[in-house]
Amino acid sequence: MTNHFDTIADIYNKVWYFSGQYQKSMLENIIELLQLGKDDVLADIGGGTGATTRLLLETSNLRKAYCIEPSRKMFLEAQKIPVIESVCADAGEFMQLEIDFSKVLLKEVVHHIPSRQVLWRYLRHKLPAQGRILIVTRPQAIALPLFEKAKQAFRQKQPKHEVLMQELETSGFATSYRVHPYRFTLDKAVWFDMIRNRFMSDLAGFTNGEIEEGLIEIDAKYPGGTIEIQDNIIYIPASVKGMDRME
């Protein structure tokens, strides 16, 4: 089966950009909630092209940052960034690697991971007492101006934040929750190009004809040359409960 992320690897950074301010706000939230500092080693699971991994490494002056990415083509993009260490592995294979880390980022990837509870237990065992995980995701009812069928596809794959928090709590983490609504305006042509490029994996199952029908639906709902976008980003930080490592 074709890996969707292989097909968009070369344009990923371009189609998933939005704006410098959007990226800055995201970065600030991650640094704050992961409490990133110079002694930390970061594992960015599903780190894609490594762009965020690199920004986190450089902004927080981290000791080291790993970009763990299963799509070969995304991994090859990440490998072009020499300051980060990129590994071609999915979350399951990540657990077989002999590497140490203190902070773990799962940004826009948690819905792709099939055995989450195994990963949470592994991380509880592996992380030091000051260790932290951060999930960055979106609510099932996505606010982005997609067409209805795409919203439904998204809803079906997306776990509820309550479920993620419960899983982490059960595995020995203390969790909290923050929603950051981010509003901005894009040229409609740019937004439509993002959708045509299937910037989200939930769009991968639609034919070109279905995408064009979807764009007509969005166009009717949002007249004019620009489009107001609201992205509700959910942050779930998790810290190790108690000071003892689970054996």
Ligand X SMILES: C[S@@+](CC[C@H](N)C(=O)[O-])C[C@H]1O[C@@H](n2cnc3c(N)ncnc32)[C@H](O)[C@@H]1O
Which one among 87, 91, 142, 153 touches ligand X, defined by CB under 6 A?
91
> Near ligand X by CB under 6 A, which window of 76-84, 102-110, 166-174, 182-190?
102-110
90 binds ligand X (CB under 6 A): yes
180 binds ligand X (CB under 6 A): no
Nearer to ligand X, 71 or 175 (CB): 71
Residue 223's contacts (CB-CB under 8 Å, 6 or more residues apart) are none
| Pairing relationship of beta strands 132-137 and 41-45 according to DSSP bridges | unpaired
Residue 117's contacts (CB-CB under 8 Å, 6 or more residues apart) are 167, 170, 171
Q: What residues between 45 and 74 interact with ligand X by CB under 6 A?
A: 45-48, 52, 69-71, 74
- Least separation in angstroms between residue 212's CB and ligand X is 23
Which one among 73, 107, 124, 151 touches ligand X, defined by CB under 6 A?
107
146 binds ligand X (CB under 6 A): no
Residue 48's contacts (CB-CB under 8 Å, 6 or more residues apart) are 5, 12, 67, 69, 71, 74, 77, 78
Q: Which residues pair with 184 in a beta bridge?
A: 229
Q: Which of 116, 85, 82, 81 is nearest to 98 (CA)?
A: 85
Where along the sequence are the contacts to ligand X (CB under 6 A)? 5, 45-48, 52, 69-71, 74, 90-91, 107-109, 112-113
